[in-house]
Each structure stands twice: as C-alpha cells, then as structure tokens.
Structure 1
Amino acid sequence: MMIVGFAGKIFKKYEKDGIDLLKETIDEALDMAGLEYKDIDGIIANVGRGSFHNNKSYFNPADQISEYLGIRPKYIDHIQYGGPSALTMIYRAYKAIRANEAETILCIQGGKISHLRNSPNIKSDLVDTPFDDFIKVYDQMLPISDYAMIAYRHSKLFGTTDQQRALIAVMQRYNAMNNEKAMFRDPITVEDVLSSRIVSEPLHLLEIVYPVDGFHVFIVSKKTSKSKLRSIDILAYGEAHWPEPPAEWDDIIYTPTVESSRRASFNLEKVDAFELYDSFTITVMLQMEDIGMVEKGKVGKFVESNDLTYKGNIPINTGGGSLNTGQPAYMSGGVILEEALLQLNDMAKGHQVKEVNVIFLNGLGWWSRRHAVTLILGERK
C-alpha cells in the first residue's frame, strides 16, 4: 500500500467549471499511477464553496463527484475542517485500505473560488461559531484580521518584529523561484515585504496568501500499478480540534498544533524537511514554536539565525509554500502535501533538498485555526 499517484493544478482564474478542472487533475494523477477510473473504489473529498457548475457548490461533494466520474465506491468520506483535511485524508485512506474497506482511494482537496475573491465578505452567509453575534462585534476581514491580531500579540509579548516575519516571506520566495508550480517567482527582499501595503495591521500584502482556483488529488492504493513512486509510509500522525472560539483560549499565540504534534510524537532531529501551513508568515512562525522546533516567543531570533531555504540547515516550505503557489479554495493542505511527495520522490526540479527521507507536515484549519493535523511521511526502516 502506498501513494501511487498525485497531481496539483492551480490557476489564478480557471475559465471553465470546477468539475472540469478536477477531472483534469484526477486524470493526471491516474496517469502517474498507471490506473483507470474503474480501479477506484473509495473517495474522500474536501471541496471549497462555489466550486462546480456555474459557480454553484456541490451539496455532498464525495457523492456527486462519484456520480459525475462514474465511480461506485465501497468507501466514502467527507472531511471538512479546512486546510489540513488533505493530510487527514491520507491517514484515513491508509487505515481504510488496511481494514480491507477499499483497495484504491481517491483523495481530493480544492475548488474554484476566484469569483468570490472580490466579495466584501466571503463568509457573510456562514456561521463560524454559534456565538458570532457576541464575539464578532466589529467588521473583520477574516481570517486576515484574526492572524493580524496574533502577529500583533506575538510582537507585544516577545518583541517579534516585522522584519523577522518578512524573512519568512523572503526565504519562501527564494524556494519558489525555481519551482515551476509557483505563481510568484520574482525574488523579493525584506524591504519589498515591508514596503508592500498594510492589509490588516501589522500584516503586509506579501505576508498574506492569495486565494486561487485549484485542486490537489492523491491516490492511495494497494493494487499493483505502474507507479514508479517510492514506497512512502506514515511514520507518525496526530490531530487536534479546539471547538472553543479563540476568544476563550488561554492565549491566541498557541494553536492546536501543540497537541497534534505531541500526539504524533516524532523526533525532529530525524526530519529532513518541514512543510508547514503558510496562510500567513505568522502562521509558519507559530507552528515552528508549537511543534517544538524553538521555544515559544523565540522564533523571531531563530528565523534570523537559520537558513530556512531548501539549501539551508532547516528547509521549510521547500517549494515556496502557498504564499507563492496561491491557496486553492482557501486551503493549503494539498500544496504542502504535494511538495512533500515531490521532495520524497526526488521530483522537486530546481528546489530539491538533498537526500530526503523524512518530511514533517503540519496543517491548520478553519477561519480561526481551530484544527491541526501533523503528518510525518517517509520510508519505514
């Protein structure tokens, strides 16, 4: 059993329906795997709003995608807690196949959301918590305002500077420069980041992910296939869910990653590269602290004193992350998972880390970062 095929297709604006983009992505993953649609007997999906026919959403994506593609699954699942859902899909697919519930499972994350990009409030008709009316008394640009508040809090508590956050953006852009999948590839400096406009104090434009149209597809199978991919196993896994809104947390500078990474319980010294959810620069810094890479509050100095590029001593977001590829349907899990698989299979042209055997992935999800998934992939020895 292994990941036998994967693909990602991202566009600033995809002109046809989302279902067409999804099929193109699945076709590419199946071609890599040497499999056909008739081989698929399981499907797991997480699809953004407004993704399919004439900018209308599917009510039950896993079911309706199966219908459209002519798949009759034995196993079906719908994982809907935002960005890290793609990481959970791989874990659940491995478990389902081991339990003989299916042989070949199609994992899907993404959507077509470019038509929502200029909406004044993309979630005006969504309820984030049952207590929105009491907590969200001011107009907000969610999730930007939420992460801006965290960045400000981190700065006030620990002295973390704008320049230190900007270094994350600069090093990730360096990683993206030779990544053919990246949308933003021109080199940038700390000054470029700091001179880009403030979107929500203190976050600058170049610290914020850009929402795009796109899908990522991963195929997990125990079938004998023509796939030439390396046999990659799940070395560790953990997830955590904090149902309370951040207003009720002890402090907003922590994320559920502190629990998901503890449950995964993996020695960071054995990790060759890290793929950390990067909706904002501060998001990466929070995870670096919460997984135990650096003590809480000291990440700013840590960023200044380490090389986080794919050539560096601690490679992080080796393809530039979603800050540079764009964020499909407001979810980055597929971006970091695809990059991890490219690295593990020596397919990361122009930004390949040397001798990669173990990759640590961490994702955060939903508007208020209330879900975290830690996934460590590698070759079991």
Structure 2
Amino acid sequence: MTGAPVRAAYDGVVACVPTTVPYRRFSINTAHWWIGRALHDLTRAAGLKPAEIDGLILSSFTLGADSAVGVTQHLGLSPRWLDHVPLGGASGVVGLRRAARAVQAGDARFVACVAADTNHVDSFRRTLSTFSRFAQDAVYPYGSGGANGSFALITKNYMNKYGATREDFGKICVAQRHNALAIPFAMMKKPLTLDEYMSARPIADPLHLFDCVMPCAGAEAFLVCRESDAKALGLRPVRLLATIERHNAFAEDTVQERGGWAMDIDELWQMAGVTPDKIDLVQTYDDYPVIVMMQFEDLGFCKKGEGPDFVRSHTFTADGSFPHNTSGGQLSTGQAGAAGGHLGITEAMRQLTDTPIGHRVQDADLAIVSGFGMINYDRGLSSGAAVLARAS
C-alpha cells in the first residue's frame, strides 16, 4: 500500500442500465452517431428523458476536433456536470469512479457514462498517427503498426522473466473465444482451438494473429445514480464497493511487467471489504493476453511471476473454475475503440443482475473489473479497477 487513507465507501451509489450498441466491423457513421445511439438506448431503457441526464462522462478516440462539451451541443444536452476521459481502456473504471463521486457529492443525479468509436477503412491508421506525441514523433514515422510492436516487447520480456509460453496465452484466448460464441454481435464467429492459435500467422514476434484484437465500431454505456432513484425507476442496479486508479506507475521498470493495480490493490480490497477468493467473476482489459496475465497477478489472485501457473491451473469459460471475460472480451468480441474499456463493466453488470447476453455465470454475487490504457512504447500509462456487487 502507499500509506494513503482508505476512502469512504460508495454508500447508496449504484450503476445500472448496461447498454451496448451492437458492434460492426466497419461503419460509415461517425462517433457522434454511436454516442447518440447509446444515449438514446440508455435513456429509453432507464425510463428517463434526455433532459433528466444531468451528468455526462465521455470517452472516444474518433470524435475528431470535438470533446464531451461539443457533443452536448450536437445532441442537445445540458448537463450540470461533465467530464471527458481520454484514457482508452482505463476510461470505463475511471469514469465509473468519477461519476459515483459526483452523485455521492450531489453534483449530479443521473450520470451517463458513455464510450463509443466508429471504424471505417482508414480510422485505425488515423488513430495511430495521432495517438500521442510519442506516436507522432518516434514511432509512426518509422512505420510502426501501433500497439503490436509495443506489446510484443512487453510480452517477450514477460516470457523471458517469468517463463510464460505461447500455450499459456493461447489458453486465455481459446477460453474467451468460447465465451464470445454466445454473443450475437461478436466479431469472431468460429471456435478457436489451441492448435489454430499456435499456427496462426505471426504479427510481431512473439505475437501472432489471435493475440491481437479486432478493431470495430460500437458503443457501451451505463447509468450511475443513487440506489433509491434506480429502484424508483424500477431498474436493477449493482452496488459499487470500491475503485482505484493509477497513472504512470512504476516508471522505474525498464519494460512494463506490472501495472498500477499493484500499487493500490490492498486499498481496493480493504475498501470493498472482501478478499480475492470471494470474487465470482473477473473482467480484465484484454487488448493482448500478456496484460490479462499481468492483471491476474496485480489484482491479487496470485503473486508476481505466478501468472503462468495460475493460467495452467484454471479454466476461464463462464462455467469454468475462474469465470473470466465472460462476454469474450475484446480478443473475440472486438475492440470498439474506447468502448473496450467499458465492455467489462457492462458485462459484469449483466451477470450480477442475471441478464447476460451470452453465457451466464451461476450464482454470481461479486465481480471485479479492471481497465488498462494509453500504451506509450513499452508500457500502458493508466490503470484502474472496481469491485461490483449484486444489490439486495
């Protein structure tokens, strides 16, 4: 622990109305359209008028010159609380965390947390070329294909130091593909065997095809409010027990082998009032399987360096010994830009309210969701995690 005091719990604050706009491989619609569609579906499912959404938190890579405030004008919203969280895969947890505090403080009553991105033929190249100053100056001009090279470095370093094998990473990918087959809009429609994973074409050594996400268009959203308001609307909420976020952690590591979770994990479990062995399902950010293995360690399910053995000793399907990324995650359902950081939250919410789109985890009462984002050469700069619980 860092020695910081454990903050007060999020008493009375809940998340509800998990909303997904079904993914498409390519879309001629703008990110604004996907955001508007998500807000439309969210308010309709919640029984609210758009004018009743007095808080908005937004994440997107493909808004062009716009940010959250520009979107309020495009969509005719007038929130009294607004935030734009450009943290990629960490945006979902960070957005949930900030929205919950806004509701708790009385700054807003109903906060819509939305992430959406479009994907047309040239979207991915444009995103890569302007992703960060580092990308503009030191990577993209030399022909880098984006995150693949960075995660190849991280993966190879982890394999060399801790003995992970491609078969270990493949086990994660195969299980997630099984989970995704029950999701109608998943990008990956066919079962994946370990042999197929191992023989897939190389991308950036040691990464092969099925280690990499499929970019697509889509949106994810949810509502944060007080439990009394959710129940008055007849909604099925989940309780927020604890959250953490951390940025630029362990900068001294030559190549990233741990994330910010490791710095604050004791605080998370203490705030939640539970221990890792009580968790029923885990939703990690999964742009590459090495980051999944890293999260198993840094979230406290095993010690640093024990990730490979942990993977070998568990199954990760929804009905397995360690239900994980039960929607298929980004590796098989797809990475809808910034919405990938919200996918685990909406999936956990559905599981905890017995409304999954795909396979159901039986008797699920507690979930942990983690986020990871903003890769910059040899590390991701942002991380977060949240513990969610079934409401009584």
- Structure 1 window deviating more from structure 2 (124-133 vs 353-362): it is 124-133
What is residue 29 of structure 1 aligned with on the other side? Answer: 42
Amino acid at match of 1:355: D
1:79 corresponds to which of 85, 92, 115: 85
> Quick one: structure 1 residues 166 and 228, their matched pair in 2 at CA, closer, same or farther if it must change by over 3 Å?
farther
What is residue 142 of structure 1 aligned with on the other side? Answer: 146
- In 2: Cα distance, 1:118 partner to 1:235 partner: 36
C-alpha RMSD of matched pairs (Å)? 2.4
What is residue 366 of structure 2 aligned with on the other side? Answer: 358
Amino acid at match of 1:373: G
Partner SS, residue 15 of structure 2:
strand
- In 2: Cα distance, 1:283 partner to 1:207 partner: 11
Partner SS, residue 355 of structure 2:
coil
Alignment map for 1:195-344 (pairs within 5 Å): 195-222=199-226, 223=229, 227-242=233-248, 248-265=252-269, 266-329=274-337, 332-344=340-352
Query: Retained in 2: the 8 A contact 1:110–1:216?
Result: yes
- Structure 1 window deviating more from structure 2 (318-327 vs 106-115): it is 106-115
> Quick one: structure 1 residues 141 and 256, their matched pair in 2 at CA, closer, same or farther if it must change by over 3 Å?
farther
Give per-residue Cα distances to partners, 1:218-276, cap 9 Å, x unaligned. Answer: 122344677544332211111111178x6x52542112221243331251112110000
Per-residue deviation, 1:117: 4.8
> Quick one: structure 1 residues 126 and 308, their matched pair in 2 at CA, closer, same or farther if it must change by over 3 Å?
closer
- In 2: Cα distance, 1:17 partner to 1:209 partner: 21
What is residue 192 of structure 2 aligned with on the other side? Answer: 188
2:116 corresponds to which of 98, 110, 115: 110
Q: Which structure 2 residue ranges, 5 or more long, are not aligned? A: 1-12
> Quick one: structure 1 residues 284 and 126, their matched pair in 2 at CA, closer, same or farther if it must change by over 3 Å?
closer
Amino acid at match of 1:199: I
Query: Would you say 1:93 and 2:91 are equivalent positions?
Result: no
- In 1: Cα distance, 2:140 partner to 2:44 partner: 47
- In 2: Cα distance, 1:74 partner to 1:118 partner: 33
Per-residue deviation, 1:320: 0.6
Give per-residue Cα distances to partners, 1:104-154, cap 9 Å, x unaligned. Answer: 1111112113343563x7433443459965x99965332111111111112
> Quick one: structure 1 residues 15 and 225, their matched pair in 2 at CA, closer, same or farther if it must change by over 3 Å?
farther
- In 1: Cα distance, 2:241 partner to 2:41 partner: 27
- In 2: Cα distance, 1:256 partner to 1:112 partner: 29
What is residue 3 of structure 2 aligned with on the other side? Answer: none
- In 1: Cα distance, 2:348 partner to 2:24 partner: 20
- Structure 1 window deviating more from structure 2 (292-301 vs 94-103): it is 292-301
- In 2: Cα distance, 1:64 partner to 1:30 partner: 20
What is residue 48 of structure 1 aligned with on the other side? Answer: 61
- In 1: Cα distance, 2:144 partner to 2:69 partner: 34
What is residue 20 of structure 1 aligned with on the other side? Answer: 33
- In 1: Cα distance, 2:244 partner to 2:93 partner: 10
Query: Retained in 2: the 8 A contact 1:340–1:359?
Result: yes
> Quick one: structure 1 residues 172 and 267, their matched pair in 2 at CA, closer, same or farther if it must change by over 3 Å?
same
Give per-residue Cα distances to partners, 1:147-173, cap 9 Å, x unaligned. Answer: 111111121122211111111100111
- In 1: Cα distance, 2:105 partner to 2:185 partner: 35
Partner SS, residue 194 of structure 1:
helix
What is residue 127 of structure 1 aligned with on the other side? Answer: 132
- In 2: Cα distance, 1:236 partner to 1:74 partner: 25
Query: Retained in 2: the 8 A contact 1:33–1:225?
Result: no
- In 1: Cα distance, 2:24 partner to 2:131 partner: 25
- In 2: Cα distance, 1:346 partner to 1:6 partner: 12
Give per-residue Cα distances to partners, 1:280-321, cap 9 Å, x unaligned. Answer: 111111111111212222222221221111101111101110
Query: Retained in 2: the 8 A contact 1:39–1:104?
Result: yes
Query: Would you say 1:59 and 2:50 are equivalent positions?
Result: no
- Structure 1 window deviating more from structure 2 (252-261 vs 273-282): it is 252-261
What is residue 54 of structure 1 aligned with on the other side? Answer: none
Query: Would you say 1:373 and 2:384 are equivalent positions?
Result: yes
Partner SS, residue 114 of structure 1:
coil
What is residue 175 of structure 2 aligned with on the other side? Answer: 171
- Structure 1 window deviating more from structure 2 (178-187 vs 143-152): it is 178-187
Query: Retained in 1: the 8 A contact 2:129–2:135?
Result: no
Per-residue deviation, 1:92: 1.4
> Quick one: structure 1 residues 153 and 137, their matched pair in 2 at CA, closer, same or farther if it must change by over 3 Å?
farther
1:4 corresponds to which of 16, 27, 35: 16
Q: Percent identity?
A: 26
Query: Retained in 1: the 8 A contact 2:152–2:206?
Result: yes
Query: Retained in 1: the 8 A contact 2:216–2:336?
Result: yes
Query: Retained in 2: the 8 A contact 1:142–1:367?
Result: no
